[in-house]
């Protein structure tokens, strides 16, 4: 159930009586743009800065006290990339209203706190303080360094950056180190005000009730605001141009091989369900072609998986390999794609992939957090289909559709993060 709160602001309520906790999630979307590293860095810092304090609770101790009063509610913030959109999120998880004492609405209290954090941050002379900005800059730099330490994540980020060097998708949603280091309170304050004016927003409540009170609180806070929401767009490249092959080396033991394909999509809904099934059969679980052949039969990699990024129209294959076997593993992966393109799979294998994909989708219903995240597509595409509706579409996918979508896949970039010889020894 969705409602329009204000221009570019939606409220989505997801009834879920099976959980003892509820989840209130605020998502704000801003376009990623090339040659605007300072803007990307400022937006990346904002949700972390906003969720740390506000005018009503200016110190961590006072904020923790309020969270304790909300029956030990948990507050979190994160940043991610979906298509060429930077998605900024602040979330509260608390006990469901039916477990509160005296009929108290915990959901309404969480909404009031979330709105205070968004609209009334802790400012000094109209600006974020030097101390709070310095702290969040350091923490954001540590997140970037953590990504570099995770070689799986690092290799995928590098492949995306090289593959989409002239597209906004190649940007890291956390920003660049130099731009983060250069941020000043004035820039962050300006970015926050711009966020309130122009960012499409969505509030998602997963729980057993409290939606009317939350919706009314949102309406009152946004009433009278002048907003001009930006249009969120993503550039889709249907076919790869000249193939790029890049090799880099680090002191690691296991090399990381990443293949970036153009999936042939003209938009995010272009035969999406057929492409999801094709990708899963190609490189999803233990039943997939990549797992059974490249990993098990040929022993060319330690792990090998394919993922479709439908909001951008690219398909990524990640594998952990021995450096000396990287070329052989690449050729084997491409051969399995050719098998998909010729329809060299059984109806039983196709059915297994569809069942496994539906099982994976249904796991989003296991937690309020994952269920709330499922409805991110509502903010970006206006699609509020349920888990069950998504699975119904997947079950209807035909063999011919899978083969047709596989034939549209073209290799764009091969990236190898190789182990230096001294590290391998």
Round to whole Å and give the CA distance between 409 and 412.
9
Contact present, 168 and 37 (Cβ < 8 Å) = no
pLDDT of the residue at 423: 46
- Tell me: domain 2-222, CATH 3.30.830.10, correct? yes
pTM value?
0.93
Write phi, then psi, for 397 (nearest 5 degrees): -65, 135
* 387 contacts: CB under 8 Å, gap ≥ 6: 361, 362, 364, 365, 374
Task: Quickly count: other Cβ atoms within 10 Å of residue 245's Cβ.
Answer: 11
Domain with CATH 3.30.830.10 in the chain: 2-222, 244-424
Fold of the CATH domain 244-424: Cytochrome Bc1 Complex; Chain A, domain 1 (3.30.830)
Round to whole Å and give the CA distance between 300 and 201.
45
**What tens digit of pLDDT does each residue of 269-318 get?**
999 999 999 999 999 989 999 999 999 999 999 999 999 999 999 999 99
226 to 46, 168, 191, 223: CA distances (angstroms):
21, 28, 16, 9
Round to whole Å and give the CA distance between 340 and 288.
11
pLDDT of the residue at 425: 46
Which residues in the chain show pLDDT less than 70? 422-425
307 to 313, 348, 371, 412: CA distances (angstroms):
11, 21, 20, 15
Phi-psi region of 102 (alpha: psi -120 to 50; beta: other; left: phi over 0): left
- Exposed/middle/buried for 92, CB within 10 Å: 0-12, 13-18, 19+? buried
pLDDT of the residue at 181: 96
């Amino acid at each position: 159930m969705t409602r329009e709160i204000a221009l570019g602001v939606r409220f989505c309520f997801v009834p879920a009586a099976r959980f003892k906790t509820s989840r209130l999630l605020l998502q704000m979307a801003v376009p990623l743009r090339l040659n605007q590293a300072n803007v990307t860095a400022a937006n990346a810092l904002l949700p972390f800065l906003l969720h740390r304090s506000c005018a009503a609770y200016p110190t961590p101790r006072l904020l923790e006290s309020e969270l304790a009063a909300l029956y030990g509610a948990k507050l979190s913030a994160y940043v991610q990339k979906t298509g060429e959109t930077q998605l900024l999120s602040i979330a509260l998880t608390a006990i469901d209203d039916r477990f509160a004492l005296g009929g108290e609405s915990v959901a309404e209290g969480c909404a009031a706190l979330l709105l205070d954090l968004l609209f009334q941050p802790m400012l000094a002379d109209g600006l974020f303080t030097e101390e709070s900005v310095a702290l969040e800059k350091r923490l954001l730099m540590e997140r970037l360094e953590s990504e570099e330490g995770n070689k799986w994540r690092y290799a995928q980020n590098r492949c995306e950056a090289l593959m989409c060097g002239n597209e906004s998708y190649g940007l890291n949603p956390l920003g660049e180190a130099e731009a983060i280091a250069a941020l000043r309170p004035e820039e962050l304050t300006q970015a926050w005000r711009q966020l309130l004016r122009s960012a499409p927003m969505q509030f998602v409540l997963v729980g057993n009730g409290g939606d009317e009170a939350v919706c009314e609180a949102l309406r009152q806070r946004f009433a009278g605001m002048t907003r001009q929401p930006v249009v969120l767009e993503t550039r889709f490249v249907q076919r790869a141009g000249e193939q790029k092959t890049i090799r880099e080396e680090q002191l690691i033991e296991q090399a990381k091989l990443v293949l970036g394909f153009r999936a042939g999509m003209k938009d995010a809904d272009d035969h999406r369900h057929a492409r999801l099934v094709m990708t899963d059969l190609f490189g999803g679980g233990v039943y997939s072609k990549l797992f059974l052949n490249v990993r098990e039969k040929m022993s060319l990699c330690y792990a090998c998986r394919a993922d479709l990024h439908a909001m951008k129209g690219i398909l990524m294959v990640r594998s952990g390999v021995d450096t000396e076997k990287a070329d052989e593993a690449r050729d084997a992966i491409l051969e399995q794609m050719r098998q998909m393109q010729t329809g060299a799979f059984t109806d039983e294998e196709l059915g297994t992939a569809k069942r496994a994909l539906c099982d994976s989708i249904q796991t989003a219903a296991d937690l309020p957090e994952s269920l709330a995240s499922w409805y991110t597509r509502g903010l970006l595409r206006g699609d509020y289909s349920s888990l069950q509706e998504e699975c119904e579409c997947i079950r209807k996918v035909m063999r011919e559709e899978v083969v047709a979508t596989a034939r549209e896949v073209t290799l764009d970039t091969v990236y190898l993060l190789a182990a230096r010889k001294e590290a391998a020894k």
